[in-house]
Structure 1
Amino acid sequence: MDQVTLLHNPRCSTSRSALDQVESAGVEAEVVRYLTAPLDEAALRDLVDKLEDPVTDLVRRDAAFAALGLTDDDVATTDQVVAVLAEHPRLMQRPVLIRGDRAIIGRPKERVPAFLSD
């Protein structure tokens, strides 16, 4: 089985749950705290290419999103999502799990075990 990369925010309970599930499954993982080590444009494009979810789902629509004056129209395309996340990494949905040529957003939490066992 390929190593899993977990794009992780330790302040997020769903992200902490994903890390617990990875560890419980005995899967080797690289944990990337994407807020302290943000993905650059190339890494974001690589992630988007692997993502099984709609690319626009990678952007959190939270208070920070609204405070920046962003709307769904600002993150409707791959290029827009990459640009927004490169500038504002805190808007990335979490957790994100990557293995080989596949990636998922680990929400809801129940998606993680199936991804780890595939």
Structure 2
Amino acid sequence: MSVMIYHNNRCSTSRAVLDIIREAGIEPIINDYMKTPPSHEEMLALLLAMDMSPRQLLRTKERVYLSLNLDDEKKTDREIIDAMLAHPELIERPIVVTEKGIKVCRPKTRVLELL
């Protein structure tokens, strides 16, 4: 089974999900999206596959969230995506991709649905 994780090593949940994948005997493709954010097209494809709006994938507890006025409900989807790509810490994590689907794995046990 092919598994890819959009991973942030500084996030305990992301590290825990990576451990669960490895404990299942799978060595995933690790996408360190903090260093290499997805393209705009990749982000749109992820959102579509997860049936999520950009706002639903937005981390609201990051400092940059308020500094960019992302709490303004008038922000367009394009503006939110652009902010997430410019500041990848705003992307909720971890996102796991398998042939069974794509999900934000919060709580960490949600990854089991994809393995």
1:91 corresponds in structure 2 to 90
Alpha carbons of structure 1 residues 27 and 8: separation in structure 2 relative to 1, 3 Å = same
Q: How far 1:36 sits from its partner (Å)?
A: 0.5
Percent identity of paired positions between Structure 1 and Structure 2: 30
- Structure 1 spans left out of the alignment, 5+ residues: none
Is 1:102 the equivalent of 2:83? no
Q: How far 1:42 sits from its partner (Å)?
A: 1.3
RMSD after superposition: 2.0
What TM-score comes out, normalization by structure 1 length?
A: 0.82
2:71 corresponds in structure 1 to 71
Distance in 1 of aligned mates of 2:89 and 2:113: 26
Distance in 1 of aligned mates of 2:72 and 2:96: 24
**8 Å contact kept, 1:106–1:112:** yes
Paired residues in the alignment total: 113
Q: What amino acid does structure 1 have at the position aligned with 2:65?
A: F
**8 Å contact kept, 2:70–2:80:** no
The structure 1 segments of at least 4 consecutive aligned residues displaced by more than 6 Å after TM superposition are none
Distance in 1 of aligned mates of 2:7 and 2:33: 6
**8 Å contact kept, 1:8–1:95:** yes
| Bigger shift: residues 7-16 or 25-34 | 25-34
What TM-score comes out, normalization by structure 2 length?
A: 0.84
- Structure 2 spans left out of the alignment, 5+ residues: none
1:11 corresponds in structure 2 to 10
Alpha carbons of structure 1 residues 76 and 106: separation in structure 2 relative to 1, 3 Å = farther
